[in-house]
Chains A and B, each alone.
Chain A
Amino acid sequence: MSFPNIRPTTRSFTMGDYPSKTYRSLSGVTFRRSFGNKQTGYTLDLQFKNIGDQNELKQYSGTTREILQHYIDMDGTLDSFSVPYRVFVGMDDKVEALIKNPPNIKWRYAESPNVQSVQPGVSTVTVKLVGELEA
């Protein structure tokens, strides 16, 4: 089940890395041991500012209920899902391809969504996602 196809107000993304450990010797030489051949640990933070709790205030702005219902449907942080194109609106296509579908990566909630009430019926919702490898 895909994340709601809505536009965030702000979007922050960090690339994943190869799982590794570093050993630093007394001489200062460091050894890095890699434990896998694929990157993991991508993060995507989204903020939906001043959206309606129940009804969309602007087209594709989404609602608080829609986001929270998706979180419940995904069993919280347990299940993985895809992230639709509208979340990446305004981004160059080639950059979007790297971020939207990193190879072998599944997106899931890193934590529960944060809802900040702005005025009656209007809230700001912050969502943090993490992209991890699934065997």
Chain B
Amino acid sequence: MTQEIRIVQFFDLITDDDKDNPDEDKRHRYQNYFVNESKTFGAASFAFAPFRVDGSVSSLNGDNDQITILFPAIEYAVRLVEAGKGNRKSLLFLDTRFVNQSGGISDNGPREIFVGLGASFSADTIELRFSSALDAVASNFPANSLTNKNVGILPLESALSLR
């Protein structure tokens, strides 16, 4: 017995990159299943890009999930990194949908929202790193901020130890 699965992911990236109009955002829309085709999804057109998504897409506590999106090192991937100022000023909507045998896209599926964390390059790939938009509120949520006033000189690194 064999089941076939076809999955498309829609990558909708908003970057804040217009120097002349700082309030203007740019959209970069790609999908990774329909080769060399543009697909309409949510009234917008998504061009083909050969990207893959790795990492956690959702978890129960929603605690700062991270994903990486891997592109081959081609021109538009470099543009994506430049547009988001090294992918640090970007917002990503990632929709995952099933595709049927005749190419129809399912109406429902998960939508995840991430913020850009940065990017890294290798010889043949460009990796965009994203994190879930919100950190979870946990039991050790601090009631106070650490400042010079209440703890003295603050460390320059994130590691703290109580003595």
Residues of A that sit less than 8 Å from B by CB: 28-38, 104, 133, 135
Contacts and interface: CB of A to CB of B under 8 A. Distances in A.
B35 A135 contact: yes
Contact of A29 (B1, B37, B74): B1
Given A37-B103, A135-B48, A135-B50, A32 B35 contact: no
Contacts, number: 46
A73 B103 CA distance: 39
A133 B33 CA distance: 13
Nearest to B2: A30
B33 A36 contact: yes
Contacts of B41: none
A133 B49 CA distance: 13
Contacts of A28: 1
A104 B36 contact: yes
B7 interface: yes
B121 interface: no
Interface residues of B, number: 19
B34 interface: yes
B35 A133 contact: yes
A29 B3 contact: yes
B5 A33 contact: yes
Contacts of B48: 135
A104 B33 CA distance: 15
A34 B99 CA distance: 10
A132 to B, nearest CB: 11
26 contacts: A28-B1, A29-B1, A30-B1, A30-B2, A31-B2, A31-B5, A32-B2, A32-B3, A33-B4, A34-B4, A34-B6, A36-B35, A37-B6, A37-B33, A37-B34, A37-B35, A37-B99, A37-B103, A38-B35, A38-B36, A104-B35, A104-B36, A133-B35, A135-B35, A135-B36, A135-B48
B33 A35 contact: yes
A114 to B, nearest CB: 27
Nearest to A27: B1
Nearest to B103: A37
Contacts of B35: 36-38, 104, 133, 135
Interface string B26-63: 00000011111100000000001110000000000000
Contacts of A31: 2-5
Given A28-B1, A31-B2, A36-B34, 11 more contacts: A31-B5, A32-B3, A32-B5, A33-B5, A34-B6, A36-B33, A36-B35, A37-B35, A38-B36, A104-B35, A135-B49
Contacts of B33: 35-37
B6 to A, nearest CB: 5
A93 B32 CA distance: 34
